[in-house]
Amino acid sequence: MVLKRQMLAIQDVYVPVRRRQTLDRQKVDALAECILIKGQEAPILVRPDGNRFVLVEGLHRLEACKALGETTVAAYLVQARNH
């Protein structure tokens, strides 16, 4: 199965509380700098949940895009269990 890269509105991506607790601000800053130079090379992983998407993987990439003022983020839609 080939994953299809999509652009999603950052505001439509929900980050579960447990995942938010693992945020490392220094990692976000370093990724933001890299994204500024190279662009977002690796899409985040999300699963559909009604009208929104739940983050499965890529918290630091998502937060780096937010820090840069982006309104969209590259993502792959995956089928994942509820955590």
pTM of the full structure:
0.88
Helix, strand, coil percentages, rounded to 5, for the chain:
35, 30, 35
Average pLDDT over residues 1-18: 89
Name the strand (E) or helix (H) holding 75.
strand 72-77
pLDDT tens-place string over residues 46-79: 999 999 999 999 999 999 999 999 999 999 999 8
Domain 5-77 belongs to what architecture?
Alpha-Beta Complex (3.90)
Domain ranges of the chain: 5-77
Report CA Rg, the chain: 12
